[in-house]
Structure formats: C-alpha cells, structure tokens
C-alpha cells in the first residue's frame, strides 16, 4: 500500500512541475514514505533521514540548490512531533490519510510559514481529492479499495496509524479500474489492510461486498487477471470462497495470514478464530479451487508463546502447505495491548531460533511448490526485461516470478511458458511455441 501511496503522491505533484528522479541526489524534494508495523521498520526512518540530510548537504555544496525533506506514512502518523524534534531539517510531516493536501502543504512551506505537521484523519477521504490520472499505470497494477482496520489484533498498530475501516464506493473503483486498463494494465491487485472486509456503496446506495466487487470488475473487457490482498480469515465468506471457483480472472493465489497455530496464542492475539477454523477455511477454498496457492504471515514469539504453542504453528504450516509466506519476530509496538504484557515477553534468542526453524519449513514448502511445476506449461504475464540478454521476467498465476528467454516485444503479453526449473524464489522456463520449435 505504501508503494501505491507513493505513486499517488508523485501523481499529485506532477501538475506542480515535479517529476520522479532516479536518485535522491538530484531531488528538489525527498519524501520518505514510512512503515510503522515493526520496530525495525520505524527505526529505519531516522537512519534514512540522516542519510537524506547528508545528500542534501552535498547537493547544496555542489551548487545543486535546496532539497525539501518530508516524512509521510505511518511513522509520520504515530511519531510526527518526535520527528520534528529529532530531525529539525524535516519540513513536512504528514500521515497516510492526508497526502492529497501535498500542494497546500508545499505552498505553506514555501511561504515560509514554518513546518507542516498534518496527521489528521480527515472527514472527507483523500480519494475524493486525487486527480483523475492518479492511477497505477503498470501492467500489473495496484488499486486501493479499502483502508484501515477495526479488528485491533493485540500486536498491531494499523488501526491506530491507518485509522478506522473505510471502503471506497464501487463506481469509483470500477472507474479507476477502467482508466487503468485503458492505460495498459492487464492485472489488478485490489489493496486493503483488510480487503475482504470491503463494504462500499454502489451508485444506488446499496452496500456491496468484495465478492460483488470482484464480479463487477471481472466484466470489464481487457482485465485479464485479478487479485486481492490482504485478507482476514474471519471475512472469508462462502460467496468469496466460491468466487475462486467461478470467476475466471480471479487468480489461484490467496494471501491469508494466520499469524499463529496455537488457539491460546490466537486468542491472546485477538484474532477471533481457532487453528481448526482456519484449516476449515483452507479446506473449503481448496474444494472450490484445488490448485489454489496459499501464502500467509506468521509472528513468532508473541508474549506467552511456549515451545508447544510454537509447535502448533509448525503443525499448522505442515497441514496447510504454503507456496510462500512472510514471517516475523514479534515486535512490541507502542500503544498496542500486547506491548503491555511485559512479564511474558519471549527472549530474543528464543525468537531468533524459532523464526529460523519456521522459515526453514516454509522454504522447504516453497521449493517443493516451485519444483512441482517442472515440465508443466502455464500462462505467464511478461512484465519487464530481465538482467540477462534476451530474458524477460513475468508472473505466474500463482504469484511466482518466472524468468523466460523471449524477445522484448512480448512484454505485456500473457504467454504460455513451459517450466524447466523450479528454484527457491523463482521459476525458469521457455516459451511454449519455442519449445515446440525446439522439439521439432
């Protein structure tokens, strides 16, 4: 979502004469768009800011003019005043819900009225103020449909930094999708912190859910592939599971975080489901779409996690079998309920060791999944040139990166590719036509 937001900031600034630079040392303005989800992510803000200050000094010394430094995103939202105090060279600090006001903020700074700190949650959503051409124009592009979260998992800052759940209206999303497709997009990923909690209004005032939205989007000519992320198990409704069987543009890949496998930990996390309920959802999804690839998020070392609780997570992973996954050591976040469980913190070395075991298992599953495609043919959306001569990089229906030997004019096409090698993080293959030619 930060990638999406950063691109929208560039869109907003373009009528003011700004364009993207490839390196910060050419920039008249640098916006650091930040993440607050774990401590490491937020610490990076201050080290990156120090680096930007050095870049600015060098640029000024070389006669390259001034550089305005701004901080956006969730660290800005949570620690705005602290940033201005610790990094006085920063001119603007604004949260994820107010970046549409960038032109006004810039005007304020250039008038010399001091620093701008805007961490409000405005009543009018920012989407109403974005210019019509503020869309992702990539072949595989993002579209934010929902933001914020009301779930309040005990470890998570999102409800505090991104704010309450908000869904954009269905016509607004359809319209944005059409403009994206007209601009060349072939694959759309619907974004939301809780995307399957989507409940936007239709033109006639009816409330629509994510399944309704998926059906409507699937009717747009030119949309070849549709995905959505991130979903919460509680909102994996029957109709949404069935959409994975019935909607052909919906890709057979789902990111459905479970975080942990122990019911005790799931309850302490306030996830509001058990390990078996999650297994049940996966079983149902696979009954509708047997080849569905699954991805997840895992937290190890949540306060109070015993070896047995951790083993429950490992067992759940063995039962589900993931095609890929993200895993993290628990990181206490200020203001969240879990951060107050001080007496129950799991020692750092235990977290490190458990994470290593968990990642080894996930890697094993990922390699096994990738190898299972060797010798098979599948449609790959060819997205960009690879580093090697004559190589293109594309995306499989199951979200794998696929390296293909192909002439560059095929970028943008969906090509049938025969996989000859499944590796840990990617697949290698050849175009089906050329493999037939080779065979002939």
List contacts with ligand SAH (CB under 6 A).
37-38, 155-156, 158, 193-194, 230, 232, 257, 259, 297, 299, 328, 330-331, 333
DSSP 392-421: EEEE-TTS-EEEEE--GGGTT-EEEEEEEE
**Which helix (H) or strand (E) element contains residue 118?**
strand 116-118
Number of chain positions touching ligand SF4 (CB under 6 A):
10
Distance between CA 438 and CA 407 in Å, rounded?
Answer: 16
The SS3 of residue 359 is helix
Which is closer to ligand SF4, CB of 140 or CB of 194? 194
What is the four-CA torsion angle of 326, 330, 333, 337, rounded to 10 degrees? Answer: 110
Minimum distance of ligand SF4 from residue 102's CB (angstroms): 25
Q: Which does 330 bind (CB under 5 to 8 A by kind): ligand SF4, ligand SAH, none?
A: ligand SAH
Minimum distance of ligand SAH from residue 395's CB (angstroms): 21
Distance between CA 229 and CA 217 in Å, rounded?
Answer: 15
Site for ligand SF4 in 218-257 (CB under 6 A): 232
Which is closer to ligand SF4, CB of 194 or CB of 262? 194
Q: How many CB atoms lie within 10 A of CB 391?
A: 14
Exactly one of 152, 164, 182, 306 binds ligand SF4 (CB under 6 A); which one?
152
Exactly one of 73, 159, 233, 303 binds ligand SF4 (CB under 6 A); which one?
159
Distance between CA 303 and CA 36 in Å, rounded?
Answer: 19
Give the residue carrying structure tokens 């072949």: 139
Q: Which does 333 bind (CB under 5 to 8 A by kind): ligand SAH, ligand SF4, none?
A: ligand SAH
Q: In what order do the strands lie in the sheet with 253-255?
A: 253-255, 293-300, 324-329
Minimum distance of ligand SF4 from residue 274's CB (angstroms): 16
- Paired residues of 428 in beta bridges: 403, 421
Q: Which does 38 bind (CB under 5 to 8 A by kind): ligand SF4, ligand SAH, none?
A: ligand SAH
Q: Which does 198 bind (CB under 5 to 8 A by kind): ligand SF4, ligand SAH, none?
A: none
Q: Per rule CB under 6 A, is residue 161 in the interface with ligand SF4?
A: no
Site for ligand SF4 in 186-215 (CB under 6 A): 193-194
Q: Which does 159 bind (CB under 5 to 8 A by kind): ligand SAH, ligand SF4, none?
A: ligand SF4
Residue 419 main-chain phi, psi, to 5 deg: -85, 125
Q: Per rule CB under 6 A, is residue 402 in the interface with ligand SF4?
A: no
Q: In what order do the strands lie in the sheet with 187-191?
A: 140-144, 187-191, 225-229
Which is closer to ligand SAH, CB of 169 or CB of 231? 231
Q: Per rule CB under 6 A, is residue 156 in the interface with ligand SF4?
A: yes
Closest CA to 334 of 33, 32, 2, 36: 36
Query: Residues interacting with ligand SF4, by CB under 6 A?
Result: 149, 151-153, 156, 158-159, 193-194, 232
């Amino acid at each position: 979502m930060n990638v999406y937001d950063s691109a929208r900031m560039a869109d907003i600034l373009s009528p003011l004469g700004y364009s993207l630079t490839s390196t910060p040392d050419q920039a008249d303005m640098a916006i650091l768009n930040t993440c607050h989800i774990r401590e490491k992510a937020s610490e990076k803000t201050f080290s990156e800011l120090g680096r930007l200050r050095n870049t600015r000094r060098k640029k000024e010394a070389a006669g390259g003019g001034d550089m305005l430094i701004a901080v956006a995103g969730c660290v800005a939202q949570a620690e705005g005043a602290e940033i201005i105090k610790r990094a006085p060279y920063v001119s603007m600090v604004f949260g994820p819900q107010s970046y549409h006001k960038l032109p006004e903020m810039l005007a304020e700074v250039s008038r010399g009225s001091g620093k701008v700190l805007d961490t409000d949650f405005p009543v009018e959503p920012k989407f109403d103020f974005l210019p019509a051409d503020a869309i992702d124009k990539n072949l595989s592009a993002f579209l934010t449909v929902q933001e914020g979260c009301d779930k309040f998992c005990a470890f998570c800052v999102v409800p505090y930094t991104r704010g309450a759940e908000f869904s954009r209206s269905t016509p607004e999303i359809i319209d944005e999708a059409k403009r994206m497709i007209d601009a060349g997009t072939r694959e759309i990923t619907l974004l939301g912190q809780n995307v399957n909690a989507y409940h936007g209004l239709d033109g006639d005032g009816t409330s629509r859910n994510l399944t309704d939205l998926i059906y409507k989007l699937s009717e747009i000519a030119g949309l070849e592939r549709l995905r959505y992320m991130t979903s919460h198990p509680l909102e994996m409704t029957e109709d949404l599971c069935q959409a994975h069987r019935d909607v052909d543009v919906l890709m057979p890949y789902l990111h459905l975080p479970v975080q942990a496998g122990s019911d005790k930990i799931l309850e302490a996390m306030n996830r509001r489901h058990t390990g078996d309920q999650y297994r049940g959802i996966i079983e149902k999804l696979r009954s509708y779409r047997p080849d569905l690839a699954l991805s997840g998020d895992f937290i190890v070392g949540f306060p109070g996690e015993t070896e047995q609780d951790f083993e429950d997570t490992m067992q759940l992973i063995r039962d589900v079998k993931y095609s890929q996954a993200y895993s993290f050591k628990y990181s206490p976040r200020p203001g969240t309920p879990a951060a107050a469980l001080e007496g129950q913190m799991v020692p750092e070395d235990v977290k490190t060791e458990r994470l290593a075991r968990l990642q080894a298992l996930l890697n094993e599953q990922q390699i096994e999944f990738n190898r299972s495609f060797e010798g098979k043919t599948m449609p790959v959306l060819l997205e960009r040139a690879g580093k090697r001569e004559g190589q293109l990089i594309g995306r499989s229906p199951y979200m794998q990166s696929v390296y293909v030997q192909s002439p560059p004019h095929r970028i943008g096409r969906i090509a049938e590719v025969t996989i000859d090698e499944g590796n840990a993080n990617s697949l290698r293959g050849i175009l089906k036509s050329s493999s037939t030619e080779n065979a002939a």
